[in-house]
């Protein structure tokens, strides 16, 4: 006898929701903004639109963004700590656990921001103007 029911057990519902939230945490969505801006202006722009400059917690996240900055340089959310310029942090305040620096980068303690070009990261003066790569997020911008 086949039984049909519209009832979903709380166990199954919790399991499905847990998978959804885990998948969304593991696969960030990235948006390429082709407008030239300084790093600070790019950060203000994305936070005004419920996003943050691109953040990569691991290599898997880095690979999911499909390299929209292949031809042009794009700001990402990595910047030097305000108190200790030898330390890099993400725009959301998180510690850095993964990097993709180009050979010999970062190379200048006065360059406090970072951009991505092709598949590598570079340090740069924050007043330079580049395109931006943003991370869609529901937790940014307090």
Whole-prediction pTM? 0.76
| Domain that includes residue 104, residue range | 29-136
Average pLDDT, the chain: 80
Element (H, E) at 66: none
Give the Cβ contact number of residue 47 at 10 Å.
17
CATH at 72: 3.10.100.10
Digit-coded pLDDT (tens) for 51-61:
899 999 988 88
Q: Which pLDDT belongs to residue 77?
A: 96
The verdict on residue 16 lying in a domain is no
The verdict on residue 14 lying in a domain is no
pLDDT at 142 over 80: no
The verdict on residue 6 lying in a domain is no
Q: What percent of the chain has pLDDT over 70?
A: 75
The verdict on residue 127 lying in a domain is yes
Q: Is the dihedral of CA 98, 102, 108, 112 positive or negative?
A: negative
The verdict on residue 113 lying in a domain is yes
Number of domains in the chain: 1
Give the C-alpha distances (Å, rounded to integers) separating 100 from 2, 13, 74, 90, 121: 55, 38, 14, 14, 6
Digit-coded pLDDT (tens) for 72-92:
899 999 999 989 999 999 999
Binned at pLDDT 50, 70 and 90, residue 43 comes out as very high
Burial (Cβ within 10 Å: 0-12, 13-18, ≥19) of residue 34: exposed
**Coarse DSSP helix, strand, coil percentages of the chain, rounded to the nearest 5 percent:** 25, 30, 50
**Interatomic CA distance for residues 54 and 65, integer angstroms:** 9
The verdict on residue 141 lying in a domain is no
Structural contact between residues 12 and 101, judged by C-beta atoms closer than 8 angstroms = no
Q: Which pLDDT belongs to residue 40?
A: 97
Nearest to 111 by CA among 80, 73, 134: 80
**Interatomic CA distance for residues 102 and 82, integer angstroms:** 23
Report residue 16 as tokens: 């499905």
Q: Which pLDDT belongs to residue 69?
A: 80
The verdict on residue 129 lying in a domain is yes
The verdict on residue 69 lying in a domain is yes
pLDDT at 18 over 60: no
**Interatomic CA distance for residues 131 and 47, integer angstroms:** 15
């Amino acid at each position: 006898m086949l039984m049909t029911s519209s009832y979903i057990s709380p166990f199954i519902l919790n399991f499905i929701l847990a998978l959804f939230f885990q998948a969304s945490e593991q696969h960030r969505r990235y948006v390429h903004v082709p407008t030239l801006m300084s790093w600070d202006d790019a950060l203000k722009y994305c936070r005004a639109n419920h996003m943050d400059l691109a953040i990569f917690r691991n290599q898997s996240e880095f690979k999911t963004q499909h390299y929209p900055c292949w031809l042009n340089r794009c700001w990402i959310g990595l910047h030097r700590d305000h108190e200790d310029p030898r330390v890099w942090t993400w725009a959301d305040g998180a510690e850095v656990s993964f990097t993709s620096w180009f050979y010999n980068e970062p190379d200048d303690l006065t360059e406090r921001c970072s951009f991505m070009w092709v598949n590598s990261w570079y340090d740069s003066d924050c007043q330079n103007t580049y395109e931006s790569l943003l991370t869609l997020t529901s937790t940014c911008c307090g």
